[in-house]
A and B are shown apart, each in its own frame.
Chain A
Amino acid sequence: MKNVLCAVAGAAALLISAPSIAQTTLTVATVNNSDMIRMQGLTSEFTAKNPDITVKWVTLEENVLRQRVTTDIATKGGQFDVLTIGTYEVPIWAKKSWLVPLDKLGADYDVGDLLPKIKDAVSVDGKLYAAPFYGESSMVMYRTDLFDKAGLKMPESPTWDFVVDAAKKLTDKAGGVYGICLRGKAGWGENMAFLTAMSNSFGARWFDEKWEPQFNSPEWKKTLTTYVDLMKQAGPPGASSNGFNENLALFSAGKCAMWIDATVAASMVTNPKDSKVADKVGFALAPNTGLGKNANWLWAWSLAIPAGSKKVDAAEKFIAWATSKDYTKLVASKEGWSNVPPGTRTSLYKNPDYLKVAPFAKLTLASIDAADPNKPTVKPVPYVGVQYAAIPEFQGIGTQVGQQFSAALSGSTTVDAALTAAQSVTEREMKRAGYIK
């Protein structure tokens, strides 16, 4: 009888305890790009292994997300448990103690496998504050058929002189083919990402060691003159309103002989479903001027946990899953190797299956290796970041300077006037922020 009672009590205890496994709901804030959307679709694989965790997604456009997440984290609003942030935010937010250091990602996470430059970009003082989900640099994408026809050969690491020359030769305005397509739309993440990276290769820098703006330097003048002259002679009409998407459309439609932009574009322009020139695209490192720096940037969308989150353990479990080697394998098994998130792990670039379907893999890796966020320029600088300076004021300053440079491209102001205006805007803002007197 006693046994029966025990059994009944045990069964009752089980029944009561079964549904009471604490459910943790994670709210993940993320950007709208194909890799993130894919992860959203694969979340069920994670929740199947972790039945006590539910994952909800808030997908927003990049700039909206940035504003939304910054407001929430600055006010400790606690609306999100996992944030998607870029390499620009990580050092700033980590220093403000807004992020939880990721030190419990698990034994099999293999932090050493992360690409060193990407790992540096999401670490502060040797501690990882965000886990990279996908990484990118920029490189030259060019039309092999047009180069062959003109008798030109693209070197693996071209100089700006070669690029300018080739762009002029390949331009056939009557036939609707332009030598080169570059970003022109104003914005710190639009034309300024490209122009800052380009200026690095010309030996220019945003600030000297004392945070004095450097737009009055001959290096910046050469950068902007080269850019404006090149685009006037060999660029598409209306280039001052072109961003990544516009150039992607132009290149995919066969209107550009060269395009220098994010390495993630490589998989888009070689995809026959979306591109008319899929089988005629070659890749090269972003151009240089022989000073030891190439005109390429470095960016990684990464997952981080806001400080003050009450669900750190579950969030860290999710981040470890989403940025693991196993996740890469999961995507490969479901959607093929060409769809795995690129640019974060060394092992991916040694994987023969991936190398087979990604002709751009070698140059993506070389481009990422060629960018150094801690030493972005030829001359020393007080900031980290290749195509930006990782200070909170940069978004505002970068966009104002970007507007000046976009105006120089459209012809509504001159190169000299744009540089003078950029210098005074930056000086004013840096004084106001207390960097200089």
Chain B
Amino acid sequence: MARMVTTRNKVISTAAAWLVGFLIFFPILWMVLASFKTELEAFAIPPSFLFFHWTTENYVTVQERSDYLHHALNSIIIAGGSTLIAMLIAIPAAWSMAFSPTKRTKDVLLWMLSTKMMPPVGVLVPIYLIYRTFGLLDTRSGLIFILCLGNLPIVIWMLFTYFKEIPKDILEAARMDGATIGRELIYVLTPMAVPGLASTLLLNLILAWNEAFWTLNLSTLEAAPLTVFIASYSSPEGLFWAKLSAASTLAIAPILVLGWFSQRQLVRGLTFGAVK
């Protein structure tokens, strides 16, 4: 009897999980479907779900009108570059704050977070002037720099909380056994921190990939990433939904695929600590 209930519960919870998953995934699915419709069908009321005239003309138009690969390459370089630099700065910072905290550690952490509370548009003009003076407008290095700065507080906070979860006793035990700092870092700490590092890396990559304010405002052509590519397909006057969907599908495809492949790390990292 008990077994039957368990099976029924299993079925129900599986169905519920699939339902929630489907609901969350639906906007993306809808966008992908719209990208294969004609402009008129993309706008049709009531909307058609699967039974419409499938067409790839939007992808052809998008390909003809703009240079997807140029924008995608910029996105990869900017998101990847800013993430790597942020990690390089954040790991030692979080490490020192987690394992040898001082009186001011808490204040420093809060102060870092407080920079995220300011709306970016408030500093748009000063940043723009600085970038103009140093010739950083419309350059990849300029965008890498600003995205790195923007994400650093989040990266440091995430890493700090992961490192704090690691018991100091283990490190002490390693020291007792005569491990040097280098060995301690590589053989003791890193294996324990990998899920945390991986999920921070991925989250930061996604944040940098999706960042639209700075990338739209500080780039024009040469350094323009995929956000600019999408913005060129939106229009308040005229039917552009299908083309916009096609452009958006192309823009999120790389990061979506990356997300799928690394979901195990991502989930493990995000629930790190709770399941120990």
List, in ascending order, chain A residues with CB within 8 A of B220's CB.
Answer: 27, 29, 58, 79-80
User: Can you list 6 residue pairs at the A/B interface with Cβ under 8 Å?
Assistant: A32-B238, A61-B231, A62-B235, A64-B231, A245-B236, A249-B43
List, in ascending order, chain A residues with CB within 8 A of B257's CB.
Answer: none
Q: Do B216 and A40 have beta carbons less than 8 Å apart?
A: no
* B232 touches A (CB below 8 Å): yes
Docked complex: B222-258 residues within 8 A CB-CB of A: 224, 228, 231-241
- A-binding segment of B122-130, B153-161, B169-177, B201-209: B122-130
List, in ascending order, chain B residues with CB within 8 A of A58's CB.
Answer: 220-221, 224, 228, 232
Interchain CB contact (< 8 A) of B128 among A63, A71, A268, A274: A71
User: Number of contacts between A and B (CB, 8 Å)?
Assistant: 95
List, in ascending order, chain A residues with CB within 8 A of B39's CB.
Answer: 274
* A415 touches B (CB below 8 Å): no
Q: Do A77 and B43 have beta carbons less than 8 Å apart?
A: no
Q: Do B45 and A77 have beta carbons less than 8 Å apart?
A: no
Q: Do B232 and A253 have beta carbons less than 8 Å apart?
A: no
* A389 touches B (CB below 8 Å): no
Q: Do B65 and A33 have beta carbons less than 8 Å apart?
A: no
Nearest-Cβ distance from residue A271 to partner chain B, whole angstroms:
10
Interchain CB contact (< 8 A) of B44 among A31, A56, A77, A253: A253
Chain B's closest residue to A25 (CB) is B221
A58 to B44, alpha carbons, bound, how many Å?
30
* A243 touches B (CB below 8 Å): yes
Nearest-Cβ distance from residue B38 to partner chain A, whole angstroms:
9
Q: Do A189 and B236 have beta carbons less than 8 Å apart?
A: yes
Contact size class for A? 35 or more
Q: Do B238 and A40 have beta carbons less than 8 Å apart?
A: no
* B132 touches A (CB below 8 Å): yes
Q: Do B240 and A77 have beta carbons less than 8 Å apart?
A: no
Q: Interface centre among A37, A189, A248, A268, by most B CB within 10 Å?
A: A37
Q: Do B237 and A67 have beta carbons less than 8 Å apart?
A: no
Proximity bits, A32-75, B CB within 8 Å = 1, else 0: 11100100100000000000000010111111100110011011
Nearest-Cβ distance from residue A262 to partner chain B, whole angstroms:
7
A160 to B260, alpha carbons, bound, how many Å?
57
List, in ascending order, chain A residues with CB within 8 A of B44's CB.
Answer: 249, 253
* B217 touches A (CB below 8 Å): yes
Q: Do B129 and A61 have beta carbons less than 8 Å apart?
A: no
List, in ascending order, chain B residues with CB within 8 A of A268's CB.
Answer: 238-239
Chain A's closest residue to B234 (CB) is A61
Interchain CB contact (< 8 A) of B232 among A56, A61, A248, A250: A61
Interface of chain B, main secondary structure: loop
A245 to B132, alpha carbons, bound, how many Å?
37
* A264 touches B (CB below 8 Å): yes
Proximity bits, B177-221, A CB within 8 Å = 1, else 0: 000000000000000000000000000000000000000110011
Residues of B within 8 A of A (CB): 39-40, 43-45, 65-66, 124-125, 128-129, 132, 137-138, 216-217, 220-221, 224, 228, 231-241
* A252 touches B (CB below 8 Å): yes
List, in ascending order, chain A residues with CB within 8 A of B241's CB.
Answer: 245
List, in ascending order, chain B residues with CB within 8 A of A205's CB.
Answer: none
Q: Do B125 and A71 have beta carbons less than 8 Å apart?
A: yes
Nearest-Cβ distance from residue A65 to partner chain B, whole angstroms:
9
Interchain CB contact (< 8 A) of B237 among A59, A60, A76, A262: A262
**A32-B235, A64-B234, A75-B128 provided; 14 other pairs, C-beta below 8 A?**
A27-B220, A33-B238, A56-B221, A62-B237, A64-B216, A80-B220, A245-B235, A248-B239, A249-B43, A250-B45, A252-B40, A253-B45, A262-B237, A273-B40
Chain A's closest residue to B227 (CB) is A64
Chain B's closest residue to A274 (CB) is B40
* A244 touches B (CB below 8 Å): yes
Nearest-Cβ distance from residue A75 to partner chain B, whole angstroms:
5
List, in ascending order, chain A residues with CB within 8 A of B216's CB.
Answer: 60, 64, 68
Q: Do A71 and B234 have beta carbons less than 8 Å apart?
A: no
Nearest-Cβ distance from residue A54 to partner chain B, whole angstroms:
12
List, in ascending order, chain A residues with CB within 8 A of B125's CB.
Answer: 71, 74-75
A31 to B233, alpha carbons, bound, how many Å?
9
Interchain CB contact (< 8 A) of A32 among B43, B124, B240: B240
A29 to B231, alpha carbons, bound, how many Å?
13
Nearest-Cβ distance from residue B66 to partner chain A, whole angstroms:
8
A76 to B241, alpha carbons, bound, how many Å?
34
In the complex, the 7 A-B pairs of residues with the closest C-beta atoms, listed nearest first: A59-B232, A61-B234, A249-B43, A32-B235, A79-B220, A77-B132, A75-B128
A29 to B239, alpha carbons, bound, how many Å?
21
Chain B's closest residue to A249 (CB) is B43
List, in ascending order, chain B residues with CB within 8 A of A40's CB.
Answer: 65
Q: Do A62 and B132 have beta carbons less than 8 Å apart?
A: no
Nearest-Cβ distance from residue A263 to partner chain B, whole angstroms:
11
A34 to B128, alpha carbons, bound, how many Å?
31
Nearest-Cβ distance from residue A18 to partner chain B, whole angstroms:
27
List, in ascending order, chain A residues with CB within 8 A of B240's CB.
Answer: 32
